[in-house]
């Protein structure tokens, strides 16, 4: 397989993204799962950006990946969010020490395969795991039920976590066609409806020994993977803000008409429409800027061999970026309705998807906690918690 540079991969993205944008609003409105579009991105090897060159990848920076996520979310935030587990798995492989696992899984990425997630459960305390995995000969069997299985319906491989006989969490990755692995399309959130984040059932699923993951992060240990995962959410928000801007401009140009007492004969000349679009643009600009700056901080942590201080600073900067990106996306999506009258609420336009999507992404974890943690760090040098959210 020939090596592709980062510019070559991003050129592929530049060709694909306008195609993905076509019909995105209609797909979301009528709930058409974007299987084809996700396959196109994987086949173009756009999920392999961060894989080191010695394994056949392009060895991009975190900033370059985050920019791609923003650009993708700006045309379809559902697809961007669905690919979060695929990008996250690569980051975990980069951190861990198992050379065998890197060689095994990077090869699957380079073949155009996609990874989904089935880690979280509902019904217990936040983060609690009730799924079980037990030995069976040389291999294992897993049982349990998961929810928020982001991207699993689109994936070739599904990662999950279960408790062993010692109550220790065990991570594993199994092929989606493995007997007993049941993927249910029952995600019912008001936004991000096409992320395929529904139920995964583990019905006595065989887990081969080589499919068991080496533990990457010990309990209570800070890892650069978490800031990356959290910044990914911020990148999706920045993309949503830009998508809202694009729709605001298009609606003002193509559909809106001035109100009766406006001084303008065209909506694009109405000063309040100009003001609304300008504010949306500023918020989209701010969201993207802070997210990319936080990405630079993660790259700096890698350059500093992931020492404790640089990883902590990355966690703080990501928390700040998330706060601003979420607020900006929500406000941009709301202001979109100020560029036109009642017609902006027409279901055929599906403009409400931006706010619904931004609100759903923001609810992954409370943004007020992000600001409070940053404040405690500034005031008292209190480090962020190692809860998996910072």
**pLDDT value at residue 67:** 98
Residues 139 and 206 in one domain: yes
Residues 274 and 321 in one domain: yes
Among 12-21, 66-75, 183-192, name the one with the lowest average pLDDT.
183-192
Distance, in Å, from the CA atom of 50 to the CA atom of 47, rounded to the nearest integer, reads: 8
Tokens, residue 325? 């990106």
Evaluate whether 128 touches 158 at the Cβ level (below 8 Å). no
> How many CB atoms lie under 10 A from the CB of residue 387?
13
Residues 342 and 232 in one domain: yes
Mean per-residue pLDDT of the chain: 94
**pLDDT value at residue 262:** 64
Tell me the residue range of the domain where 65 lies.
6-114
Q: What is the CATH number of the domain that holds 168?
A: 2.40.110.10
Examine residue 371 and state whether it is found in any structural domain, yes or no.
Answer: yes
Find the mean pLDDT for residues 176-189: 95
Residues 62 and 89 in one domain: yes
Residues 274 and 348 in one domain: yes
Q: Is the pLDDT of residue 124 over 70?
A: no
**pLDDT value at residue 264:** 60
Confidence of residue 11 (pLDDT cuts 50, 70, 90): very high
Residues 253 and 356 in one domain: yes
Confidence of residue 237 (pLDDT cuts 50, 70, 90): very high
**pLDDT value at residue 120:** 81
The count of structural domains within the chain is 3
Q: What is the pLDDT of residues 53-62, one digit of tens each?
A: 999 999 999 9
Q: Is the pLDDT of residue 18 over 80?
A: yes
Residues 269 and 343 in one domain: yes
**Alpha-carbon distance values, 233 to 128, 183, 269, 291, 319 (Å):** 22, 24, 35, 10, 11
Q: Where do runs of H (alpha helix) occur along the chain?
A: 6-21, 24-30, 35-43, 62-73, 77-82, 84-95, 99-110, 225-254, 271-303, 308-335, 353-362, 367-380
Distance, in Å, from the CA atom of 345 to the CA atom of 8, rounded to the nearest integer, reads: 40
Which residues is 144 bridged to in the sheet?
A: 202
Q: Is the pLDDT of residue 260 over 90?
A: no
Tokens, residue 387? 């809860």
Residues 143 and 235 in one domain: no
Q: What is the CATH number of the domain that holds 66?
A: 1.10.540.10
Q: What is the pLDDT of residues 277-336, one digit of tens each?
A: 999 999 999 999 999 999 999 999 999 999 999 999 999 999 999 999 999 999 999 999
Residues 53 and 177 in one domain: no
Q: Is the pLDDT of residue 114 over 70?
A: yes
Q: Where do runs of H (alpha helix) occur along 149-224?
A: none
Q: Is the pLDDT of residue 126 over 70?
A: no
Residues 286 and 374 in one domain: yes
Examine residue 218 and state whether it is found in any structural domain, yes or no.
Answer: no
Residues 196 and 251 in one domain: no
Residues 71 and 197 in one domain: no
Evaluate whether 156 touches 139 at the Cβ level (below 8 Å). no
Examine residue 363 and state whether it is found in any structural domain, yes or no.
Answer: yes
Euclidean distance between the first and final Cα of the chain, in Å?
37
Find the mean pLDDT for residues 56-80: 98
Evaluate whether 207 touches 134 at the Cβ level (below 8 Å). no
Which phi and psi (to 5°) does residue 114 adopt?
-120, 145
Of 211, 243, 261, which residue constitutes the final position of a domain?
211
């Amino acid at each position: 397989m020939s090596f592709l540079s980062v510019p070559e991969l991003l050129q592929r993205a530049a060709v694909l993204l306008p195609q993905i944008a076509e019909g995105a609003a209609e797909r979301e409105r009528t709930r058409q799962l974007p299987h084809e579009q996700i396959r196109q991105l994987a086949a173009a090897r756009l999920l392999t950006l961060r894989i080191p060159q010695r394994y056949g990848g392009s060895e991009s920076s975190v900033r370059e990946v985050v920019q791609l996520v923003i650009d993708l979310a700006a045309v379809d935030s559902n697809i961007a969010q669905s690919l979060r587990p695929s990008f996250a798995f690569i980051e975990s492989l980069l951190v861990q020490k198992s050379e065998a696992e890197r060689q095994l899984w990077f090869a699957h990425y380079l073949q155009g395969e996609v990874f989904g997630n089935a880690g979280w459960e509902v019904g217990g305390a936040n983060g609690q795991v009730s799924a079980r995995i037990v030995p069976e000969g040389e291999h294992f069997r897993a049982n349990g039920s998961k929810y928020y299985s982001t991207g699993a319906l689109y994936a070739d491989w599904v990662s999950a976590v279960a408790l062993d006989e010692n109550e220790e969490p065990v991570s594993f990755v199994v092929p989606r066609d493995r007997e007993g692995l049941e993927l249910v399309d029952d995600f019912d959130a008001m936004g991000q409806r096409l992320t395929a984040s529904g139920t995964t059932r583990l019905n006595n699923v065989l887990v081969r020994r080589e499919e068991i993951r080496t533990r990457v992060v010990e309990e209570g240990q800070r890892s650069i993977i978490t800031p990356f995962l959290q910044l990914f959410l911020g990148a999706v928000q920045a993309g949503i803000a830009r998508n809202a801007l694009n729709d605001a401009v298009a609606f003002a140009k193509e559909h809106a008409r001035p109100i009766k007492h406006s001084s303008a004969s065209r909506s694009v000349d109405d000063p309040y429409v100009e003001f609304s679009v300008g504010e949306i643009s500023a918020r989209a600009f701010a969201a993207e800027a802070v997210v990319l700056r936080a990405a630079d901080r993660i790259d700096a942590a890698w350059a500093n061999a992931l020492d404790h201080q640089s990883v902590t600073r990355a966690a703080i900067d990501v928390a700040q970026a998330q706060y601003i990106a979420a607020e900006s996306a929500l406000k941009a999506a709301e202001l979109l309705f100020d560029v036109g009258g009642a017609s902006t609420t027409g279901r055929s336009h599906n403009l409400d998807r931006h706010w619904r999507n931004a609100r759903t992404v923001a609810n992954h974890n409370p943004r007020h906690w992000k600001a409070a943690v940053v404040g405690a760090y500034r005031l008292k040098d209190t480090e962020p918690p190692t809860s998996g959210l910072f």
